[in-house]
Amino acid sequence: MISADLIIVGAGASGIFAALAAKEKYPEKKILILEKTTKALSKVKISGGGRCNVTHDWRRVDHLTNFYPRGHKELRNVFSAFSAEDTILWFQNRNVKLKIEDDGRMFPITNSSQTIVDCLLNECDKLEIKIVYSTEIDLIEIHDRKFSIRTKSSKQYFCNKLILAVGGLNTTKGIQLIRSLNLESIETVPSLFSFNIPNSALAGLEGLSLENCEIQISESKFSVTGPIIITHWGISGPAVLKLSSFAAEQLFHQNYNFKILINFFPEYNEIQFFEFIQKTLKNNSKIKFYNHKIKAIPSRLFQRLFSISKISESKNCADLSKSEIQTLINLFTKFTLSCSGKTTYKDEFVTAGGIDLKKINLKNMEYKTIPGLFVVGEMINVDGITGGFNFQNAWSTGYIAGVNSFNNDFNKIN
């Protein structure tokens, strides 16, 4: 039987950050981290394509709803307690400088996620926080306001305070663990995935990227404008991942069978686009439209759309009929693709859903009906789009739980 003042289950971003915040504030307390695998911070290591997109330049974040499909309202309080600015300072004070990319994403200046892993684990060593590896927790019980934690290999741990930081609740074991404590959760579904399009009309154009398209999920309110990439399994890119995030629940319930409409010219409204095409045809009346280059759309894609239209490639612009022009306009602005089945490519997969935010005191991340139990990171019903938003949730909620684990005073320690 092993006892500690505070036990943290999970050595990911949120768990490690919680442990560091707690130990800095309460150095006399015995703190243990229990981790089921043989490594800490494995997602940090692989994140951001090996560069770790630590957070986002918050000055560009207008409204949280645009970045956190789930949790935007509640995170306002959380971020006012520990913000992206606090994250930047925290790392800076430990000699890790972050840089801002053009789109607002922030990475370590070394461009290596190992810098973040090393920084966090060095801090754990410095503060003598012990991480116990290969220790999977499968049952938690409460006796006399103390937590009794049983591992898969039937070892027993006891603690007064417990922080759960087990990541997305997307496995039966994860769900069983929270059920052992009767925690209430919202159904979990995948988010941030690319779209699978079998027999796509765009097959053969793999690798083509388009700077600015509007993609809409047919017969829904979900629509996103931004860059897309044509892949060998369908489409991906920032706009697709963002759309998958906002429509995560709906797509799950449709069993990932849905249609998308792509507008390759989102900068025009319908009338403007009609006028643009008319003008283009008039100014190039004597050349074949098939060979014409339209800005913003690569010629390989333009010619593919033209082939799909079945209009003769030899027709000059001036010879296109009204209905042929309308067919082309529809292909350029309402290009329809049928998506089927979920991709298994782990672009930047996160889990939407998790512990119900209504059940959490967001001032300290304590589960309202179980004093001494805190829940943080991806396991709560918060998820963001790509750009460093998911780690910011992990840093902020982990920090708040850590500093408040032994009382409700809140003092920032940078």
Ligand X SMILES: Cc1cc2nc3c(=O)[nH]c(=O)nc-3n(C[C@H](O)[C@H](O)[C@H](O)COP(=O)(O)OP(=O)(O)OC[C@H]3O[C@@H](n4cnc5c(N)ncnc54)[C@H](O)[C@@H]3O)c2cc1C
DSSP codes, 281-319? HHHTTTSBGGG---TTS-HHHHHHHHHHHT--TT-BGGG
Q: How far is the CB of 388 from ligand X (least distance, A)?
A: 5
Q: How far is the CB of 13 from ligand X (least distance, A)?
A: 4
Minimum CB distance to ligand X smaller for 29 or for 36: 36
Residue list 382-401, contact with ligand X (CB under 6 A): 388-391, 394
Q: How far is the CB of 350 from ligand X (least distance, A)?
A: 5
Longest CA span, the chain:
87
Minimum CB distance to ligand X smaller for 159 or for 165: 165
Count interface residues toward ligand X (CB under 6 A).
35
For the chain, how far is it from start to end, CA to CA, in angstroms? 35
Cβ-closest position to ligand X: 12
Q: Which two tokens stand for residue 106?
A: 């922030």
What kind and span of H or E run contains 156? Answer: strand 156-164
Q: How far is the CB of 402 from ligand X (least distance, A)?
A: 12
Query: Which region, judged by CB under 6 A, interacts with ligand X, from 153-161, 307-315, 326-334, 342-350?
Result: 342-350
By CB under 6 A, name the one of 13, 124, 247, 339 that touches ligand X.
13
Minimum CB distance to ligand X smaller for 177 or for 243: 177
By CB under 6 A, name the one of 2, 5, 29, 36 that touches ligand X.
36
Residue 35 interacts with ligand X (CB under 6 A)? yes
Residue list 108-137, contact with ligand X (CB under 6 A): 136-137
The position carrying tokens 């500093």 is 403
Residue 48 interacts with ligand X (CB under 6 A)? yes
Residue list 222-241, contact with ligand X (CB under 6 A): none
Residue 60 interacts with ligand X (CB under 6 A)? no
Residue 31 interacts with ligand X (CB under 6 A)? no
Residue 377 interacts with ligand X (CB under 6 A)? yes
Q: Which two tokens stand for residue 66?
A: 């645009």
Which residues lie closer than 8 Å to 29 by C-beta, 6 or more apart? 5, 6, 22, 23, 406
DSSP codes, 214-252? EEEETTSS-EEEEEEEE-SSEEESHHHHHHHHHTHHHHH
By CB under 6 A, name the one of 4, 6, 7, 11 that touches ligand X.
11
SS3 sequence, 333-398?
A: HCEEEEEECECCCCCCCEEEEEECHHHEECCCCEECCCCCEEECHHHECCECCCCCHHHHHHHHHH
DSSP codes, 202-214? TTT-TT-EEEEEE
The answer to whether 10 and 377 have CB atoms below 8 angstroms apart is: yes
Query: Which region, judged by CB under 6 A, interacts with ligand X, from 63-71, 201-209, 250-258, 343-351?
Result: 343-351
Minimum CB distance to ligand X smaller for 51 or for 304: 51
Question: Whose CA is closest to 398, among 385, 382, 387, 386?
Answer: 382
**Residues at the site binding ligand X, with contacts judged by CB under 6 A:** 9-15, 34-37, 42-43, 46-48, 52-53, 136-137, 165-167, 177, 346, 348-350, 377-378, 388-391, 394
